[in-house]
């Protein structure tokens, strides 16, 4: 990976602005998944600004959910070990991700969960 575009983007946006965008995006994601009734692994005060860990409803299998999201253009990651067994997945919001993208992601997550519920 060539770092020049990353460095250029950071310099153009500014470090503080980038950190604040990541914070806003993480909050949008956390608020959105909570509104759908899902639980988070980490409480907001100590949560990451770039990764959110979410537990799917019990009747939804994480592997199937992630596959469907991938087909729809979104890459999510299953939890590891016991967390995966408990249907946890992770959402990363870093790089060029912005608030509008987070809103779009949440719509697709909700649609996909509704599809899997049948």
Stated length of the chain: 118
Q: How confident is the model at residue 41 (pLDDT cuts 50, 70, 90)?
A: very high
Q: How confident is the model at residue 106 (pLDDT cuts 50, 70, 90)?
A: very high
pLDDT in tens, 68-78: 999 999 999 99
Give the domain ranges of the chain. Answer: 4-117
Can you give the pLDDT at residue 4? 58
Mean pLDDT of 8-15: 81
- In words, the CATH class of domain 4-117 is alpha beta
Angle between the N-to-C axes of helices 15-35 and 99-117, in degrees from 0 to 180, rounded to the nearest 10: 20
Mean pLDDT of 2-27: 83
Q: What is the mean pLDDT of the chain?
A: 93
Residue 100 clears pLDDT 80, i.e. is over it? yes
30: left (phi over 0), alpha (psi -120 to 50) or beta: alpha
**pTM for the model:** 0.90
Report how far residue 12's alpha carbon sits from residue 107's, in angstroms, rounded to the nearest whole number: 30
């Amino acid at each position: 990976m060539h770092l020049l575009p990353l460095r250029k983007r950071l310099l153009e946006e500014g470090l503080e602005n980038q950190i604040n965008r990541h914070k806003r995006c993480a909050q949008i994601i956390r608020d959105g998944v909570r509104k759908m009734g899902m639980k988070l692994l980490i409480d907001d005060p100590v949560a990451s600004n770039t990764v959110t860990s979410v537990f799917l409803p019990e009747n939804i299998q994480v592997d199937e959910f992630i596959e469907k999201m991938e087909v729809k253009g979104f890459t999510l990651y299953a939890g590891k070990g016991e967390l995966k067994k408990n249907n946890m997945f992770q959402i990363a919001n870093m790089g060029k991700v912005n608030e509008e993208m987070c809103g779009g992601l949440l719509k697709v997550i909700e649609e996909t969960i509704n599809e899997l519920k049948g």
